[in-house]
Amino acid sequence: MQVILGSASIARKTILAEMGYQFTVMTADIDEKAIRKEKPEELVMALAEAKAEAILERLPIGDYAQRAEPTLLITTDQVVVYDGAIREKPSNEEEARQFMKDYSGGHAATVGSVVVTNLKTGLRKGGWDRVEVANLFPSA
Q: Which CATH number goes with the domain that contains 40?
A: 3.90.950.10
Distance, CA of 69 to CA of 124 (rounded, Å): 16
DSSP E strands in 17-123: the ranges are: 23-25, 71-82, 85-87, 107-118
Query: Total domain count for the chain?
Result: 1
Decide: helix, strand or coil at residue 128.
strand
Decide: helix, strand or coil at residue 31.
coil
Q: Which residue range forms the structural domain that includes residue 61?
A: 2-134
**Which pTM does this prediction carry?**
0.87
Catalytic residue among 29, 31, 63, 77: 77
102 is catalytic: no
Asked, for residue 6, whether it belongs to a domain, the answer is yes
Per DSSP, 37 falls in state -
Asked, for residue 139, whether it belongs to a domain, the answer is no
Chain segment 15-61, per-residue pLDDT in tens: 999 999 999 999 998 999 999 999 999 999 999 999 999 999 999 88
Bridge partners of 85, per DSSP, are 82
